[in-house]
Chains A and B, each alone.
Chain A
């Protein structure tokens, strides 16, 4: 397998040399002309070679918000969207195995991290099954990515339940901005082969469309002894997006995706009879489809009405039971400014999701099928107390869910902008994380094998319908400043107070179950506090060609048992599974108008509880724009060590897998 990779890289290298020779000829012919003397027709085709820039509008935002443009994401060299999030200040991204990630902000990270809400073009991609996010399918053609907006801290006021510790909002480009054809392809040792193609065009006066296909193969991770983790996977995706209408009146978007992937997976599963454990090598299918429509109407007085609806289908085999799910969602939103100083947003939403979970001895759900309804309404008013200087934002979300009934999530934010160069902001907000289907209905059985236990002994964990939502009151304070024309800094700090956190308490099993040796049920007997500071700096070291970004994250967590609770195990797991310090450093250079050199260095502190050592990783990307159609790039990820573990799965029986050094070449051709 390695040999074929080298052949492929060799071939690419040969062509790079060939292409280089060709361009040097044409470069000599071109000579140096001043762009000012070019006629307007030529300027329309002139390509922008710029250092990616942060949108300036962030300056006044009253929350810990960070933006990554599509270009910045590509420049991290990541093959998947999730890996680029490693450079976002305050986020904790750890790869569990080749197709599973644990992503969270402000603690509580695991592969089913429950306190982060992720939206793709307005479509929620968190699963009500575990309240986590499937990062393997949260992907798109990175060339079509417009931006990722990351809000750390509670976003409950606007975004609703589960936006407890953060919201990640992924936005793809309008079809207006992806005209023409693009073909990409490449491969390397850990990314054996990947390819994608997109075509964008125009229909009629003001309607645009694009269509894409994408196929990726990802190699296995490794066990600590170097042997294969047996978890390679491939994913096929296709989709489209249509945008029509003009800014200023009505605009419509219709988009959809379909994906189908196969993931190898080897694990050990509990079975009822001797030998009580079963080692499995599976290839599991992951399939999904979605369709979303959005209509925006802008009124003459700048007010705006948006209606959005989507349908989403998921069919996943995984080491959890097989999950089939259909979701329908409708959202209405109205923005208006009744009196000069107010900017009001109100919204209504309805979501219904139906699932069917096929279980086995180890994992099952009772009942097997369930339909859940969610009604929500929100209102927010941003009031300019002093014009351009002091803004107060008040809002609340009210929702009704089938688990806990009504939930209220109010928030208040204040932003003081003493001059255009700096903003100080503060906020207090309440957010809740509603129960997941698993916390309500799961039945987990684990065999306790002889000789330590009598034959047939099991431990069982079961869901509990009388569970509460986890709740948070968050206090935040932040400062953002443009220290000079080329240096800006963003500091956010927080103190979070949690109540009713999930725990496992011992109690009698639900009626009808076999009597286990040890029986635990999902309860809410933990509470705790977390605190932290996130600092991000952005420095244009040399105008127009060198940009440096740095980020530092400090995090602390202290949990306690609520009265009646006894689950110290979960306390140790949560407290010991968050890196205390994280540092990242990114450099983006335009070596010439056609060569980019990007590098990223990141340090992630140790995870005490799962014995994961601290690690430092280096990612490098070198890209060469051969001409306006063709780009070649070579990327090296995790270059500093042959492999390192980033996370130990919280599933006891899964051995720890390590992320390996990865090198690949990629070419993209536009025409």
Chain B
């Protein structure tokens, strides 16, 4: 073996690094399995979006969160949200096999398994007050919110134009968390965000 003094320097550096890390350990961290995180996103979105009144037949009508296609988020939703309500509407979870069944839900998660069928699914849902969400890559071009999987966490991207067409109003709290949202120049003078993408 040759002598590698650099190795010992690096070893020392790693030790220093570890000390730094140990000091940081008090920071709380959030960690969960993917379906649980996706379910939590859907629940939060539901709380931060306003549906037109005609989306509910009566004041205590159920709030339907649907899952189209096969996705483990369905189980997480059923396990976590049963018994909860949004604005007085009890949450009901529904699993769908085709877009036609899904026309009466409020939030619809579209599985990545449906990626190839988006061109037939989206026209069926278009114009209805449905918050469409998917983690399928490029979904923001089709629906309202795309969950974007980053290195170790999720970000999301919003398509305000489809939201508007669906008659959904998104709270500013939700909009400002889209780190990639491009507002037109007019928005900088406090004009409401209008046409995007």
Contacts and interface: CB of A to CB of B under 8 A. Distances in A.
B177 A46 contact: no
Q: Which of A8, A19, A47 has the most CB of B within 10 A?
A: A47
B10 interface: yes
B109 interface: no
Interface in B99-127: 112-113, 115-116
A47 B150 contact: no
Interface stretch (A27-35, A106-114, A162-170, A347-355): A27-35
B191 interface: no
A123 B39 CA distance: 40
20 contacts: A11-B11, A19-B22, A22-B25, A23-B25, A25-B26, A34-B80, A35-B36, A36-B39, A40-B44, A43-B44, A47-B32, A173-B151, A179-B151, A185-B10, A192-B7, A248-B138, A544-B35, A626-B21, A630-B18, A669-B17
Given A35-B40, A44-B153, A192-B1, A630 B21 contact: yes
A82 B86 CA distance: 52
Interface stretch (A49-57, A357-365, A448-456): A49-57
Contacts of A11: 11, 15
B150 A179 contact: yes
A18 B22 contact: yes
A247 interface: yes
A404 interface: no
A39 to B, nearest CB: 7
Interface of B: 1, 4, 7, 10-11, 13-15, 17-18, 21-22, 24-37, 39-41, 43-44, 48, 70, 72, 75, 80-81, 84, 112-113, 115-116, 137-138, 141, 149-156, 173-174, 177, 180, 182
A38 interface: yes
Contact of A629 (B21, B26, B70, B151): B21
A627 B37 contact: no
Contact of A22 (B13, B22, B48): B22
A563 interface: no
Contact of A47 (B15, B31, B72): B31
A626 B14 contact: no
Interface of A: 1, 8, 11, 15, 18-19, 22-23, 25-26, 29-30, 34-36, 38-50, 56-57, 173, 177-180, 183, 185, 187, 192-193, 195, 205-206, 217, 232, 247-248, 485, 543-544, 593-594, 625-630, 667, 669-670
Contacts of B150: 177, 179
Given A35-B36, A35-B40, A45 B30 contact: yes
Contacts, number: 153
Given A40-B177, A195-B10, A627 B137 contact: no
Given A23-B25, A178-B151, A35 B30 contact: yes
A185 B141 contact: no
Nearest to B18: A15
A667 B14 contact: yes
A667 B33 contact: no
Given A35-B30, A48-B149, A193-B7, 14 more contacts: A26-B28, A30-B28, A35-B36, A36-B43, A38-B30, A40-B44, A46-B40, A46-B153, A49-B34, A232-B1, A544-B33, A626-B21, A630-B21, A669-B17
A548 B195 CA distance: 48
A41 B25 contact: no
Contacts of A485: 70
Contacts of A544: 33, 35, 72
B27 to A, nearest CB: 7
A47 B115 contact: no
Contacts of B81: 36
A543 B72 CA distance: 9
| Max count, chain B CB within 10 A of own CB: residue among A30, A36, A179, A628 | A36
A607 B129 CA distance: 65
A149 B14 CA distance: 34
B21 A35 contact: no
